[in-house]
Structure 1
């Protein structure tokens, strides 16, 4: 069987993706560390809780939304609990599931940090692009997501029930 190698355009796109996928999280982590002493992974947990009805989510749902394993999420939530930004509770619905709940102090952190984080995302990802390039990037990424998850069972909808700071 003959390998189907990437053509020059595909190779350049792949290499650019690899580099961007390393540099973008690093830049966002640096901003969050500087502004709030937070990792990007911890901020995503806070953000996912801030967007949830009642500012709480089942731990299993939160792990999926934050793209973290159950074990990693448990450690992240423990660190956020130690800072008083999140608390864990038993689900009142069935008494079995565990919820992570954003505290008022955690909500204050999200409201304080979110504007700088949005500025960092804009500066790192969108400012270098034209409006047309942004639309092409969106379309390209949506096509990749569709190919990776055609039945939409692994992706998480972003938006909708968003509570903005």
Structure 2
């Protein structure tokens, strides 16, 4: 799932969430895991009254991510391989880059790209034109994030170095997620 978070980052990834069902044949049991995103504590109706679109687009639409916490929880309960070994192939893919799929090219709208300097860096060429299907994408900053997660574990985004970095990045964009939001995510 880490690899899919790279090559289909428009649909899933560390900033999102998921629902998972895990069946353990030896136990004859199925387990469910809810790692969906949650609204930040400071998300109040007043923030969105003047412009309801703010609930879907922009920094006030950013939810507390659950994806990494879900992976980490599933790994701690059911995993057999070392955490770092699970992430290393994704780091290698990320560093080598991948060819953008038609689906990704079609999904990334120019409007969304133009509002995010990091996405512009990844998805525009040196002449400022939008990359097309087949273009090589190397999301360097995401590769560095994955290295920290591999080294520090899945809780790093919620109570470690990455939590501080994420909160500051979101704050710089005008978002409202706090370190407390991340720390309290369950």
Q: If the length of structure 1 is used for normalisation, what is the TM-score? A: 0.28
Structure showing greater Rg: 1
Q: Per residue, is there more helix in 1 or in 2? A: 1
Q: If the length of structure 2 is used for normalisation, what is the TM-score? A: 0.26
